[in-house]
Amino acid sequence: MEDFQKKVCIDLARRIRLHCLRMVYNGKSGHIGSMLSTADIYPVLYTQVLNVDSAAPKKVDRDRFLLSKGHGGAALLACLSELGYFPLDWLNRYYCDDGKLSGHISHHVPGVEFSTGSLGHGLPVACGMALAAKQAGKTHRIFVLCSDGDLNEGSSWEAIMLAGQHHWDNLVMLVDYNRLQALGCSEDIINLDPLVPKLEMFGWRAVEADGHDFNSIEVALKNVPIEKGRPTAVIFRTVKGKGVSFMENEYKWHYGGLTEELLGKALKEVEEA
């Protein structure tokens, strides 16, 4: 990645984190840890990888991006807003009465392809989009961002099996693999490890990447599909709560709310990083 591109990503990731912290505080909502773990993926995805255009969010040949872990949607909303899909001041009314942005991602917001919130919904719909694109001879790709918890759902594995079976190489699954879920460590609840060989055995081509290293993210995503005839999975090693020291790797920040004091502390850390 060129230095200027990296700078764009660093700045955008920082602004996403700052927005998320303020949104969660203003809205008295939760899921901040799940937002922060994805904050470095979106800048690379939206500035370097996806063929999308904020001036034409519905353009026919756009790459589709679906967020399956809809509870972490504020990070995507912050990214979309920064890129001009909708006014920044919408973020101030996130999770508020008569606001435009709900706690889980909604397709009523410009730039949001699909509404989620209950886990295990993104991959099946992405499979349908992949099938439709193949049938119509279109070349756009379908990206879907899942989480550890998302991959507990049987419906996700139903879709994983089907995509491998049909060789949908226009389908790209990204996993925010932060190893924590609502009630604790994924390893102690449903251990997905080893995920790469599991997916490979289901007919996918899977790689790991550092979800907080822009170069690593870019290298993983730049040339998908990795292998013709196979869907691609990129397992991003991430840290839940990344960027705020007292939130990092603490599962209580799946739900936890912010006090004014903690907000100030968190904002300062992100601003000074």
Partner 1 sequence: MRKAFNQELLKIAEKVPQVFMILADIGYGEIEPFAAAFPDRFINCGVAEQNMTGVACGVAMEGNIAITYSIANFPTLRCLEQVRNDVCYHNANVKIVIIGGGVSYGELGISHHSTEDIAIMRALPNMVVLVPSDIVEARAATQVMMAYDGPVYYRCGYKGEPDLHGGKNIPDFRIGGSSLIRAGKAATVFFAGPIGINAAKAVDVLAAEGIQCRLVSLYSIKPIDKETIVRAAKETGGIVVLEEHNLQGGVGSAVAEVLMDEGCGNVPFKRLALPDVNVTRVGSQAWLRDQYGLGVADVVNAVREMVK
Closer to partner 1 by CB, 107 or 268: give it.
107
Pick from 36, 45, 97, 19: which is nearest to 71 by CA? 36
Cis peptide before 110 (omega within 30 of 0): no
Contact between 124 and partner 1 by CB under 8 A: the answer reads yes
Task: Identify residues 64-123 at the interface with partner 1 (CB under 8 A).
Answer: 107, 114-118, 120-121, 123
Task: Identify residues 134-193 at the interface with partner 1 (CB under 8 A).
Answer: 135-136, 154-155, 158-159, 161-162, 165-166
Count of positions (residues) in the chain: 273
Sign of CA dihedral 221, 222, 226, 228: positive
Among 59, 88, 128, 245, binds partner 1 (CB under 8 A): 128
Closer to partner 1 by CB, 233 or 266: give it.
233
Closer to partner 1 by CB, 87 or 128: give it.
128
Contacts of residue 103, defined as CB under 8 A and 6 or more positions apart, other chains included, come to 27, 29, 31, 71, 73, 74, 94, 95, 117
Query: Which 8-state DSSP code applies to residue 144?
Result: E
Task: Identify residues 195-234 at the interface with partner 1 (CB under 8 A).
Answer: none
Query: Which 8-state DSSP code applies to residue 258?
Result: P
Among 1, 20, 91, 127, binds partner 1 (CB under 8 A): 127
Interface residue list for partner 1 (CB under 8 A): 107, 114-118, 120-121, 123-133, 135-136, 154-155, 158-159, 161-162, 165-166
